[in-house]
Amino acid sequence: MRLRIGVLGVGHFGRFHALKLAARGCLAGVHDTDPARAAAVAAELGVPALGAEALIAASEAVVVAAPTRFHHALAMRAIAAGRHLLVEKPLAATMAEAEEIAAAAQARGLVLQVGHIERYSAAIRALRDSGAGRGALAYEATRVAPFRPRALDVSVVLDLMIHDLDLVLALADAPLAEVRAVGARVMSGHPDFAVAQLGFANGAAATVTASRISAGFERRLRVLGPEGEMRVDFLARSLEVLRPGKGGEQVAAMPGWGLERGTWVEHDSLEAEQAAFLASVAEGAPVEADATVGLRALDAALRVERAIAAGSAS
């Protein structure tokens, strides 16, 4: 028997969630604050467009893909009804709201997965499988894209940078001790570019750059440490690891060091994310992007936003 899953919010990304769930035969219906949008997506996929309460009642689990400011209210209604939930990132607009969602879901014994989709990407799996980056001391992450009039209800920090904040937090595996950042509003009412410098309790540091007003697309990660260097170009699907050993191409200027080159076969990250959610709900599989992950990433993002605001005010 297939789970019945409702999608609350069918804007740009919520529609993709609905499409994938419909293809799985799991889509119970859709809801959106824009009735015309909800009706259009419902007609496209052959499911009902319902009010939020009715859709939650008709579902065994829900995907919350509405704008961030609605996450808390929708998630709490779903939890009160005993529904498992996948909440798109960021988990909520504030730490207090996010913590309330996490505590309520835990108290009811419900699955709560946060939409940190990068954790389910082929690129991140290849990075983990490489074994590179252990004991690293520095991280440089860049994620920039041309302007698109969507997700402008939040800053570029909560829209784009939060993906790389989650990534470097996972790689550093240490408490975040210090945050400095600059950014500015250009095309929206929130910062559209940001550069954050993070310091971790274990002495590691990271520079994370995000922009949604770039001339082109760029997604890169560099990891540096005493065991070598790792470079990832997510768009070119290239992974390079320079480290001691006989593997890969030997580096003439660095005797005993080898340069290993790799790539990966892409898969649909959203399908992988949804499959993980279904496995957690139906089979009790561990939740990778759980409440702890969502809270940690949100805390870092909000600290970056506060650092930007403090700099702007000075």
Cα–Cα nearest to 130, from 274, 239, 248, 11? 239
Residue 133 burial (10 A CB sphere; 0-12, 13-18, 19+) = buried
The CB density around residue 42, as the number of other CB atoms within 10 Å, is 20
Spell out the domain ranges in the chain.
5-110, 119-267+301-313
Sheet holding 238-244, edge to edge: 176-184, 193-200, 205-211, 138-144, 218-225, 228-233, 238-244, 257-262, 249-250
Domains 5-110 and 119-267+301-313 share a fold: no
174 and 202 in contact (C-beta within 8 Å)?
Answer: yes
Instruction: Please report, in angstroms and rounded to a whole number, the separation of the first and last CA atoms in the chain.
Output: 59
202 residue type, one letter: N
pLDDT tens for each residue of 23-70: 999 999 999 999 999 999 999 999 999 999 999 999 999 999 999 999
pLDDT at 313: 47
Cα–Cα nearest to 173, from 214, 225, 121, 213? 225
pLDDT tens for each residue of 205-260: 999 999 999 999 999 999 998 888 999 999 999 999 888 876 788 887 888 888 98
pTM of the model: 0.93
119-267+301-313 placed in CATH 1.10.3720.10: no
Three-state secondary structure of 126-179: HHHHHCCCCCCCEEEEEEECCCCCCCCCCCHHHHHHHHHHHHHHHHHCCCEEEE
Task: Say whether the peptide bond before residue 244 is cis (omega within 30 degrees of 0).
Answer: no
The CB density around residue 250, as the number of other CB atoms within 10 Å, is 13
* CA 38 – CA 226 distance, rounded (Å): 53
224 and 198 in contact (C-beta within 8 Å)?
Answer: no
Q: Which CATH number fits domain 5-110: 3.40.50.720, 3.20.20.70, 3.30.390.50, 3.40.640.10?
A: 3.40.50.720
Residue 312 has pLDDT above 60, yes or no: no
pLDDT bin (cut points 50, 70, 90) of residue 165 is very high
